[in-house]
Amino acid sequence: MPLPAARTPLSELTPTIALGPLDGRYRGAVAPLVDHLSEAALNRARLHVEVEWLLHLVTHEVVPGSGSLSEAEAAALRALVPDFDAAAIEELRQIEAETVHDVKAVEYYLRRRLTTVVGEDRGASLGELVHFACTSEDVNNTSYAVMVQGAVTQVWLPRATALVGQLAGMARDLAEVPLLAHTHGQPATPTTMGKELAVLAHRLGRQLARVAGAAYLGKLNGATGTYGAHVVAVPDADWQHVSRSFVEHLGLTWNPLTTQIESHDWQAELYADVARFNRILHNLATDMWTYISMGYFAQVRGQGTVGSSTMPHKVNPIRFENAEANLEVSTALLDVLAATLVTSRLQRDLTDSSMQRNIGTALGHSLLALDNVSRGLAGLDAVPEAMARDLDANWEVLAEPIQSVMRALAARGVEGMTNPYERLKELTRGRRIGQVELVAFVRGLGLPPEEEERLVALTPATYTGIAAELVDHLEGA
């Protein structure tokens, strides 16, 4: 039976109901990004850029005879940015309803405030320097660069770094815990749980270094990147210097060659790196899920959670499953952003404008995944006994070291060591053998006594090479 046609319209309820999960169910985990990548944050960043551009022009006397601002007046204008609040958002909304242009609305908003700060007469003249010689993209590209830089360096990167540190800590704690490896899903040469976690921590750490080293580019050069209006209005100014010093004043890297838009290549590079981090984190999530299913980790109980609505005994690995889903959504969005933002028809089209409004969603799903993986890892206890049982049930993995010793002896001219691989293959392939069978086989090989005793003493749990030492490569992670 379908839903009844006459029902309460949820879209009309107050407070408003979120359409997507990031602003609804998962708001708490991603809320810090609202301060950087929401629509309100975009307008605040635009206001920041417009204020700084006005002050830059006035402070450096770029337009001769335009007047000056006192330190107190400059401070009052700069205070508009940290004081940007619900009232400012509403006023901007009303202005935009008239202008039907978001950047122009910010310009008019600042002109009003300028008049309040310096008075009607001076406000009228200095107001002409608000958005002077700018195309909207001059403000937008620098605003997005400032916003994304803040979101990544102040929110995403610290969370991701903390997670990698948490994983590295687990790797060190479990560095010497033997683990039966599985290659192609089959029992393989033993390792340690710590070493396997260290591999993932190392991979993630490399991507964090790339993200931490990202460049955030900006430009301010007019409608088609030629400084056309700038040069005609003030021919004697060194506009490239003015542009560069302003962009660098914002904490960005100056891009000297653009069309109307900053080319967004830096964004594509950054999003590709975050997407790669996501994919490796997804690998961690699936591996942890598998280790849990094998009994190598126990999920900490007593948290009051319901694992299954019908099976009371269950504690489901939902943190890792939730992370998988959110990483897939995030990575898909980041891939689309990276693929599309590098293209703009001729000197400008507006596809990037709509596309960039999804940056917050892309990073939000990644941030949510980071939260889930961190909580998932924190809820695990290693079960070395389960790992030991699997090792003890797979003595055939010692075929590798035995045949390797035989090869080394054969290379030294020791007789009776021929065809070691084939002999071990005949013994072990397609069937399980235990310690008794393996020891008997080794005793019958005619090995030199010291080699024979070394192999007889070997067990799956001790055949881990230098796995525990390799975890030391994580020092500092």
The pLDDT tens digits for 93-150 are 999 999 999 999 999 999 999 999 999 989 899 999 999 999 999 999 999 999 999 9
**Confidence (pLDDT) at 421:** 76
Between 138 and 447, name the one with better pLDDT: 138
Q: What confidence category does residue 314 fall into, taking pLDDT thresholds of 50, 70 and 90?
A: low
Given a cut of 50, is residue 302 above it in pLDDT? no
Residues 6+ apart with CB under 8 A from 455: 398, 401, 402, 405, 442, 447
pLDDT of residue 305: 56
- The larger pLDDT score, comparing residue 241 to residue 447, is at 241
pLDDT digits (tens, 9 = 90+) for 260-270: 999 999 999 99
Q: C-alpha 385: how far from its chain's center?
A: 35
The SS3 call for residue 84 is: coil
Long-range residue pairs from 301-307, CB within 8 A, at least 24 positions apart, any chain: 303/379
Q: How wide is the angle at C-alpha 190 spanned by C-alphas 186 and 191, nearest 5°?
A: 120
Q: Domains of the chain (ranges plus CATH)?
A: 33-132 (1.10.275.10), 137-302+315-384 (1.20.200.10), 395-459 (1.10.40.30)
- Rg, C-alpha atoms of the chain: 31
Tell me: pLDDT of 370 over 70: yes
Bridge partners for 186 per DSSP: 183
For the chain, give the mean pLDDT.
Answer: 93
Identify whether 256 is preceded by a cis peptide bond (ω within 30 of 0). Answer: no
**Reported pTM:** 0.93
Q: What is the pLDDT of residue 39?
A: 95
* DSSP state string for 174-221: TTT-EEEEEETTEEEEEEEHHHHHHHHHHHHHHHHHHHHT---EE---
Q: What residues are labeled active site?
A: 184, 308
Separation between Cα atoms, residue 403 and residue 409, nearest integer Å: 10
* 3-class secondary structure, 124: helix
- Structure letter (DSSP) for residue 2: P
268 or 309: whose pLDDT is higher? 268
CA atoms within 13 A on the CB side of 455: 26
Distance, CA of 450 to CA of 465 (rounded, Å): 19
* Averaged pLDDT for residues 414-438: 80
Buried b (16+ CB within 10 A) or exposed e, 311-330: eeeebebebbebbbebbebb
For residue 289, pLDDT beyond 90: yes
Least confident span in 72-81, 243-252, 301-310: 301-310
